[in-house]
Structure 1
Amino acid sequence: MSLRYSAGVLLFRRTSGLEVLLGHMGGPLWAKKDASAWSIPKGEYEPAEEDPQSAARREFTEELGLPVPAGDWTPLGDVQYGSGRGKKQVTVWAVEADLDPSEIVPGHFDMEWPPRSGRIQQFPEIDRAAWFTPDIALDKLGKGQRPFLDRLTQHLAEQALSPQD
């Protein structure tokens, strides 16, 4: 069993309340799904070749077609999920910034579709992005990524309680 590594950036903003930016996974397997079909912009990397923060920055840009907006990077740690050959360790940072989801220009991937047809088609990695409150985002995200929402809200709550300089 080999562990795969992934890194990402969870953008958040405070408008009338807290919101996080998620991307809906592209391709025909996700087209008609909503619950658990959204993701933090992230992607795989090889630890021997790239550090996780650089990978998170690169993958954000590849998936959304936009650079990570300027802001402080708050580490939200690692989560492991999946099993067997699909076991993955994901490392995520939170960045407070705004981004217009209508401006994304998603990267693409190739996939044989329909299955066993021999036809290779191209699909967007993320077919749309949107801002969600943490409660709604919990339903949208896959189970393995949900701990990052809890960590973000906990961090912001602790930050609000600490004295400001």
Structure 2
Amino acid sequence: MDHSQDAPLPDSSRGSSGDTLLIRRAEVSDVAAIVAMLADDPLGATRESPDDLTPYLAAHTRLAADPNQHLVVAERAGKVVGTLQLTLIPGLSRQAATRSLIEGVRVHADERGSGLGTLLIEWAVETSRAEGCQLVQLTSDATREDAHRFYERLGFVASHVGFKLQL
């Protein structure tokens, strides 16, 4: 599958209504829906500002111009129902391995429990493979225990301790 183009997922991704799920690059017109999903949980509600899209629109411009960034949305029946950001990171460690980083995974409240999160992560892993990555990594807030179980079910291993420094 050519991941640079919009691509519908296999028939198994069709909802009960038969609507095809499309994972595609996020466009400027998707930014408000993405930010709304980022803000729609206890942590996001304290970190995001959906009333002022100015910084998000500027970020979208930077992301769209960077070939190592894949900001995508999942769309069903014309509605944005999920999102994630996949970043490709070339490096020298691990014998000059390229790794990918999954961030900002969100599923619209109406779609939670539908398997959409699994489809998004599977897309990210498949895209990472196609891009020549040897490792896929992600971080998850320490309080998101349900998310940790979800990632472990998909084969991710909690192998490192992460540190952050707010600037």
TM-score (normalised: structure 1):
0.27
More strand by share: 1
Higher relative contact order (CA 8 A, sep 6+): 1
More helix by share: 2
